[in-house]
Amino acid sequence: MLRHEVIIVGGGLAGLRAAIELCDKYDVALISKVYPLRSHSVAAQGGINAALGNNPEGRDDSWEKHMFDTVKGSDFLADQNAVEIMCKDAPRAIYELEHWGCPFSRFPDGSIAQRPFGGAGFPRTCYSADLTGHVLLHTLFERAISKRLKVYSEWYVLSLVSDGSMCHGIVAFDLIRGEIVPILAKATLFATGGYGRVYYYSTNALINTGSGIGIAYKAGVPLKDMEFVQFHPTGLVGTNILMTEACRGEGGYLINRLGERFMERYAPKAMELAPRDIVSRSIQREIEEGRGFDHPLGKCVHLDLRHLGEKKIMERLPGIRRICLDFLGIDPVYEPIPVMPCQHYSMGGIDTNEKAETPLSGFFAAGECACVSVHGANRLGGNSLLETVVFGRIASHSIEAYLSERDVKPDEKLLEEERKKVEKKIERLTGGGKEKPAKIQLELSKIMSQYVGIFRTKDELEFALGKILEAKERYRSVGISSKKKHMNYELMSALELEFMLEVAHTIALGAYLREESRGAHFRRDKEERDDSKWLKHTVMTIDREGNPSVSYKDVVITRYPPEERAY
């Protein structure tokens, strides 16, 4: 058994930002299923929002205007107290990152460059070419390592240990040594990212299974707003690799088969810089109505950057050009990019308040795995990276307050009991069951993309729920081919599949029950937003039989009452 005062699960931006703050006072360990520099935060491309007012077209920007854009973009489901905290803190967070060595792109006067992003009234997205997540992650990792942070790489968390009221630590799997290890902690923070691989078409890395969300749910921690799934409008056809919103922020066009800039039909003012939910639905409609392209790798529309010129593309979007050359053999300087909408981000997640606290004492969550909620029904591009650094820091302050206010004594016996349960689960999986985890996961992801996607109906969601329940029943018969634990990725896939099934169940059920359209949740049979019945958060907990128990709670509205959302 290992012991640390604070355990942070997840090596991305939220986890590292919390670790930096806590390392000076506590014995902190960070657990990551990959080497932290391979965390999915590294794949973020376009930028991070803050009302700095550096862009000549954004001199009048302010945190209040950033807040309004965020609340409007959320379709008024975001908790406005949390949004205010994030937007007020954004400039400080950016300058802190700059002082720590983050190489932001610059304007000629030396100030941090800012560009337009979707749903924003001002160009407030700070960036480093199209590698923003990459440079942010390296900056924070270097800072954390300088503070001698203990890192356990290639460790998978399999269980959150709770007595129903307090968190006592975790049970983890050391993949390299093939050992199940209980880790006792006074405070535990999950910063485990999203669940993209629950969907077939996703911009997310293979590591984004949503297991952290599922583990918390299985431990009795509530999940919030799981039905709200963001689809990015521009995934590279065939591979689903993200073509950053910065492509459109820098002036890129979306073109259909008829040569039209079709966004004029759907968002005549914002055009290509409408919020992501609107642009994704618009592209999908163009494809469904026969105005898309029939690419050998799938139906798509074109993202056209050619008019930007080689110099601007190489300065602002070099990574995008490289991806297009490497994966499709096309050069966006001379050819349009074939794109299609793909699952991208999870607005829902572990239910937390504005202090990153959960209802389980000693357990905290931050970043994409958490639902504060600052994104509500739809996240604006550039706000996710901001959320990680702002609420990662806030989580560290909450953990410090928690530990300073009480004498926390985790129970070793509970951890040992949980370790035995995990061992039994692994014994069952290695016992030769007839079902293969890869097959169930593939079928699950296709069901989610087809029936719980950009457009939804009651009948489709009911069908999806039935298939998910069938998959959960089939999971009881899952078996893997090798009993060895050392570097057994099939075993890890089988273990994570259990949590993926729970995450998929909560998404589909929340979507089935929410009889309205709001943000990224669009019901073809209920196309209007209904504030009289549905201006509320969906909350799900697991009951004693292992089924979701659904309740609702009010949205926090402080400054901006709901209004029509038009662009």
The residues annotated as belonging to the active site are 276
SS3 content of the chain, % helix, strand, coil (to 5): 40, 20, 40
Q: Are 70 and 380 in contact (CB under 8 A)?
A: yes
Taking the C-alpha atoms of residue 396 and residue 85, their distance in angstroms, rounded to an integer, is 15
Which pair of tokens denotes residue 240? 């689903």
Taking the C-alpha atoms of residue 185 and residue 547, their distance in angstroms, rounded to an integer, is 29
Amino acid at 517: S
Taking the C-alpha atoms of residue 334 and residue 295, their distance in angstroms, rounded to an integer, is 18
For CA atoms 380, 385, 390, 391, the dihedral sign is positive
Provide φ and ψ at 459, rounded to 5°. -65, -40
- The residue among 63, 76, 229, 49 whose CA lies nearest residue 565 is 76
Taking the C-alpha atoms of residue 17 and residue 8, their distance in angstroms, rounded to an integer, is 10
Judged by DSSP in three states, 548 sits in strand
Taking the C-alpha atoms of residue 390 and residue 93, their distance in angstroms, rounded to an integer, is 7
Kindly give the interhelix angle for 13-22 and 132-146, rounded to the nearest 10 degrees: 30
Kindly give the interhelix angle for 489-513 and 458-475, rounded to the nearest 10 degrees: 150
Q: HSE (CB half, 13 Å, CA atoms) of 106?
A: 7
Instruction: Tell me the C-alpha to C-alpha distance, in Å, between residue 66 and each of 17, 30, 103, 270, 386.
Output: 22, 32, 23, 16, 12
Q: How far is CA 83 from the centre of its chain?
A: 17
* Omega within 30 of 0 (cis) for the link into 517: no
Which pair of tokens denotes residue 34? 């990959």
Q: HSE (CB half, 13 Å, CA atoms) of 509?
A: 20
Instruction: Tell me the C-alpha to C-alpha distance, in Å, between residue 17 and each of 100, 351, 393, 445, 469.
Output: 12, 20, 6, 32, 38
Taking the C-alpha atoms of residue 38 and residue 23, their distance in angstroms, rounded to an integer, is 22
Q: Are 528 and 516 in contact (CB under 8 A)?
A: yes
